[in-house]
Amino acid sequence: MEKYWDKDIETMPREDMKALQSERLVKQVKHVYDNVKYYRDLMDKKGVKPEDIKSVDDLHKLPFISKADLRDGYPYGLLAVPLKDCVRIHSTSGTTGKRVVAFYTQNDIDMWDNCVARAITAAGGTNEDVVQVAYGFGLFTGGAGINGGSHKVGCLTLPMSSGNTDRQIQFMQDLGATILCCTPSYAAYIGETIAEMGISPDDLKLKAGIFGAEPWTEEMRQTIETSLGIKAYDIYGLTETSGPGVAFECSEQKGMHINEDNFIPEIIDPDTGEVLPDGEVGELVFTSITKEAFPLLRYRTRDLCVLSRGKCSCGRTLVKMTKPMGRSDDMMIIRGVNVFPSQIETVLIAEGYAPNYIIEVDRVNNSDTLDISVEMKPEQFSDKVKDMQDQERALALAIKTMLGINPKVHLVSPKSITRSEGKAVRVIDKRKLHDAPAKK
């Protein structure tokens, strides 16, 4: 039987949810207008007053806010409460540039913990569980966010942080961890290490994993589920809205339910800003309707996905988002073709390779080059040059069929690609280095 953390909210009829969102939105817009000069100026420029926002139907009237605005306002420009009311800050991983800092009141932390508690419960977690938190702790939201949710549920929580993989595995065995939480790339690494140590998934008590903070494919999910003997659930979030737990997967494992009593999602056309209907791919935009300290309205995440409000077998009515296929700025344009790293990952795993790879893009004689180094599993290695070349050609062909462009594939020896303990960096786009202005 499906368990819920907040049954009333998670299964609320849509009309009631809309009323709740509208009530919270109206209050939030006023809070932001009164307390955040940066956003008040944006609203004034657009000619929108708080009174113009009467329900969620008016959301589209508000101006967007983007990462560039947050960098502009660094550090206090978007803070909406006195600093003395804040109890914590976190900061983005800086994956795509200068870090952004976000502030939290105690109520903000409680709301966030509740969102994560819903995710843990949806993955089958109860106070009988032992949760191993192998996301990084510190300014990054992963460790602290999952830790807070795990406490809320009453799980025995192991705040391991990431890294020190041998110790992770030892604690996992000795303390009987039942739920592992970390990035999917680190989960794959732990799975690989367990196999090398000769430990079978049956020797572990693990039953589920809650993985997020970076894009991962369905193929990667299968690799992790098999190597660890678990069900692997996706979790999504970002520092700007709180951290992990903005959206989470349920037993259906098909898209993530958004905690829309706190975060109203919209999908927009990234070029025109126009709101798109459910079912269309576009950029995800969030409005935080309950946050006190750092309440962003219409924040453009740059993550690309699709929203759906169909019935879910788990009984939740919360709107669902598909796995983000990557950020608009992860997308590479190679010889005029749009390429996401996740498309390449899908082919690699389907062709029997492990998810250890590096994508290098460059421009030679005005033409883009795509080189993919892929690690072999020991059994894929052959000392016959021709065998290796045949394998490389076969893989290149499979990738060409998917992308429409011809890559150069290099099979590299087992263990030669550095494993990730946090967010994996898999793309090196050397064209950006050529384009960057020379440093003086």
DSSP assignment of 350-408 equals: HTT--S-EEEEEEEETTEEEEEEEEEPPGGG--S-HHHHHHHHHHHHHHHHHHHSSPPE
Q: What is the CA radius of gyration of the chain?
A: 22
Does residue 215 interact with ligand ADP by CB under 6 A? yes
DSSP assignment of 125-189 equals: --TT-EEEE-SPPSSSHHHHHHHHHHHHHT-EEE---S--HHHHHHHHHHTT--EEEE-HHHHHH
Does residue 314 interact with Zn ion by CB under 5 A? yes
Length of the chain, in residues: 440
* Cβ pair 316, 5 in contact under 8 A: no
Q: Which of residues 5, 112, 186, 236 is near ligand ADP by CB under 6 A? A: 236
Does residue 122 interact with ligand ADP by CB under 6 A? no
End-to-end CA distance of the chain: 64
Does residue 234 interact with ligand ADP by CB under 6 A? yes
Does residue 252 interact with Zn ion by CB under 5 A? yes
Q: Which of Zn ion, ligand ADP, none has residue 314 at its interface (CB below 5 to 8 Å by kind)?
A: Zn ion
Q: Which of ligand ADP, Zn ion, none has residue 356 at its interface (CB below 5 to 8 Å by kind)?
A: none
**SS3 call for 326:** coil
**In angstroms, what is the minimal distance from the CB of 418 to ligand ADP?**
19
Does residue 238 interact with ligand ADP by CB under 6 A? yes
Tell the residue number behind the tokens 């049956």, with chain if given.
202
Does residue 360 interact with Zn ion by CB under 5 A? no
Using the contact rule CB under 5 A, the part of the chain among 134-142, 190-198, 245-253, 415-423 near Zn ion is 245-253
Q: Which of ligand ADP, Zn ion, none has residue 430 at its interface (CB below 5 to 8 Å by kind)?
A: none
Does residue 235 interact with Zn ion by CB under 5 A? no
* Cβ pair 299, 92 in contact under 8 A: no
Q: Measured from the CB atom, is 70 or 376 closer to ligand ADP?
A: 70
Does residue 92 interact with ligand ADP by CB under 6 A? yes
Here's the x/- map for ligand ADP, 128-157, by CB under 6 A: it reads as -------------x----------------
Interface residues toward ligand ADP, by CB under 6 A: 92-96, 141, 212-215, 234-239, 301, 303, 323-324, 327
